[in-house]
Chains A and B, each alone.
Chain A
């Protein structure tokens, strides 16, 4: 096993403990739970079948953007990503890692990938549950894969940002939450030109590009993309660039700074 894979394996095992995973799964499943409530509330609707499907699509888009991508994905990823290096720094296991003959970029890259994998497991389960309910309501699975791809892209981008945050700052979760609420849902929402700096919008641009035409036609601008053009390839590329840049930044920090206990 290479050092890269070993670090990922141990990190996931150390940080994804059962109780914590269950708590995060509850958060991740909140969009699915809300959509289920909507389904139950509208099950006796007298509208036509086509109108019910149309309503199901509209609500699914609204929940994707307003709840899942906007709150669930960033918060779940924030909690996980800030702990993968932050916890190791606080419990002094970082000294165990950095005093081994491993390049710093391998350590940083493995930590970012570990955070991505962990967060994707949790967010992916939430997205899959939500996607299945949407498929049942709208009688098509065509929204399922776009939702998973968008979730993966946003998770990767947030993991890349929040791993260094967790290492550098003691109150990383609080500061990360402030970033999500103030920057992403305040400033970037008000200034469309800044939307490229919003990870969930990058993920949403992948969903918008991959979502079937009937979803797009129904919701118009509700994807909240601002100045971002829908595009799956571009979204994946942006997330990967963020992961590489943040790994390189972390590696540089590990090389230059004291590993304070």
Chain B
């Protein structure tokens, strides 16, 4: 097995030195990774390049540089390859005048299935859309539209599934069901690549993660290892209070604080121990008779976390 956590020993999909640029904008930059049987989470903030990478995996988009191989061949080498691939795009990609059953049966017909209607019914049952199968997609909620797309991607029983933000717009019950379904499909030995910008969603689905930020591979491998790596990186905290300058000077003596800066009468702190800071800062405020009106982490978004990862490489 490779030492590189971005690579798997039995790859179905291999991405080697892949870059993609659109004019002056670099969407994906020199990414090397691979995906094998099981579920891999493709994690990154919005605009990180996840969708472009997924589109290159399917052959919808060609790399500007590097190579994507699906089972050893270029995705566009033969259209027969698409018998083994299912894709759930992030965007709508639905025919609003069709019913869910017609849409999924259409997908089955296009995939060369001889008996599309029963296959469509089975796929719709998997995503729990049987009751609404006869309704026009144009009247569906976002969650139902997502599930319809998943059914259409599953209808021909593909070996590989690429899903771009499949949980977007789903309610908690639907989300839990889809996560279970994807887990089951991965357990059957299929290769699933699922993108998301929500860390908690990916954590519920898989341990293996490829993280992308600004088009670059930011981290890869076991999700708990990534979390451990993140624990060494200081958190940024915003403090709003009166007597800003006096309090900022006092905070320099706080052992939990690694740096302090002031901007527009707000204090920005860096700490590696958020809990200790929370305890000590309130004591310091009391001692100095300072009133804190706001104490908030600045780094809660996934984007900030991944920026740390990129910066820390």
Check if B60 is an interface residue, CB within 8 A of chain A.
yes
Mask of A218-261 contacts with B, CB within 8 angstroms, 1/0: 00000000000000000000000000000000000001001111
B97 touches which of A1, A3, A14, A97 (Cβ 8 Å): A14
Whether A99 touches B82, Cβ cut-off 8 Å, given contacts A6-B110, A14-B95, A92-B93, is yes
Contacting chain A: which of B83-91, B228-236, B246-254? B83-91
Check if B106 is an interface residue, CB within 8 A of chain A.
yes
Chain A residues in 8 Å Cβ range of B111 = 100-101
Task: Please measure, in the bound complex, the distance between the C-alpha atom of A95 and the C-alpha atom of B87, giving whole angstroms.
Answer: 9
Residue from the set B82, B92, B110, B152 with the largest chain A CB neighbour count within 10 Å: B110
Task: Please measure, in the bound complex, the distance between the C-alpha atom of A48 and the C-alpha atom of B87, giving whole angstroms.
Answer: 72
Mask of B70-100 contacts with A, CB within 8 angstroms, 1/0: 0000001001111101010101111101100
Check if B258 is an interface residue, CB within 8 A of chain A.
no
Check if A140 is an interface residue, CB within 8 A of chain B.
no
Would you call A100 and B82 a contact (CB within 8 A)? yes
Check if B107 is an interface residue, CB within 8 A of chain A.
yes
Mask of A3-42 contacts with B, CB within 8 angstroms, 1/0: 1001100100110010000000000000000000000000
Would you call A101 and B97 a contact (CB within 8 A)? no
Among residues of A, the one whose C-beta sits closest to the C-beta of B96 is: A14
Would you call B60 and A104 a contact (CB within 8 A)? no
For B, the interface residue count at a CB cutoff of 8 angstroms equals: 30
Check if A121 is an interface residue, CB within 8 A of chain B.
no
Would you call A101 and B80 a contact (CB within 8 A)? yes
Q: Is chain A's interface secondary structure helix, strand, loop, or mixed overall?
A: loop
For A, the interface residue count at a CB cutoff of 8 angstroms equals: 27
Task: Please measure, in the bound complex, the distance between the C-alpha atom of A102 and the C-alpha atom of B87, giving whole angstroms.
Answer: 15
Would you call B112 and A3 a contact (CB within 8 A)? yes
Check if A171 is an interface residue, CB within 8 A of chain B.
no
Chain B residues in 8 Å Cβ range of A93 = 92-95
Chain A residues in 8 Å Cβ range of B61 = 258-260
Mask of A93-116 contacts with B, CB within 8 angstroms, 1/0: 101111111111000000000000
Task: Please measure, in the bound complex, the distance between the C-alpha atom of A41 and the C-alpha atom of B55, giving whole angstroms.
Answer: 62
Would you call B93 and A95 a contact (CB within 8 A)? yes
Residue from the set A97, A99, A102 with the largest chain B CB neighbour count within 10 Å: A99
Among residues of B, the one whose C-beta sits closest to the C-beta of A3 is: B110
Mask of B43-59 contacts with A, CB within 8 angstroms, 1/0: 00000000000010011
Chain B residues in 8 Å Cβ range of A261 = 55, 89, 91
CB distance from A261 to the nearest CB of B (A): 6
Would you call A104 and B106 a contact (CB within 8 A)? no
Would you call A104 and B79 a contact (CB within 8 A)? yes
Chain A residues in 8 Å Cβ range of B116 = 1
Check if A91 is an interface residue, CB within 8 A of chain B.
yes
Chain B residues in 8 Å Cβ range of A13 = 97-98
Task: Please measure, in the bound complex, the distance between the C-alpha atom of A104 and the C-alpha atom of B80, giving whole angstroms.
Answer: 12
A101 touches which of B76, B82, B89, B94 (Cβ 8 Å): B82
Check if B154 is an interface residue, CB within 8 A of chain A.
no
Would you call B79 and A258 a contact (CB within 8 A)? no
Chain B residues in 8 Å Cβ range of A260 = 61
CB distance from B299 to the nearest CB of A (A): 31
Q: Which 10 A-B pairs have the closest CB atoms?
A: A100-B110, A92-B91, A92-B93, A101-B82, A6-B109, A258-B61, A101-B83, A259-B60, A99-B87, A101-B79
Interface residues of B (CB under 8 A from A): 55, 58-62, 76, 79-83, 85, 87, 89, 91-95, 97-98, 106-107, 109-112, 116, 152
Interface residues of A (CB under 8 A from B): 1-3, 6-7, 10, 13-14, 17, 91-93, 95-104, 255, 258-261
20 further A-B pairs in the complex, CB-CB below 8 A; given A91-B93, A93-B93: A1-B116, A2-B109, A6-B109, A14-B97, A14-B98, A17-B97, A92-B89, A92-B91, A92-B92, A92-B93, A95-B89, A95-B93, A96-B93, A96-B107, A99-B60, A100-B111, A101-B80, A104-B79, A258-B60, A261-B91
Could you name 17 residue pairs across A and B whose Cβ atoms are closer than 8 Å? A2-B109, A3-B110, A6-B106, A13-B97, A17-B97, A93-B92, A93-B93, A95-B60, A96-B94, A96-B152, A99-B60, A99-B82, A99-B85, A101-B81, A258-B61, A259-B60, A261-B91
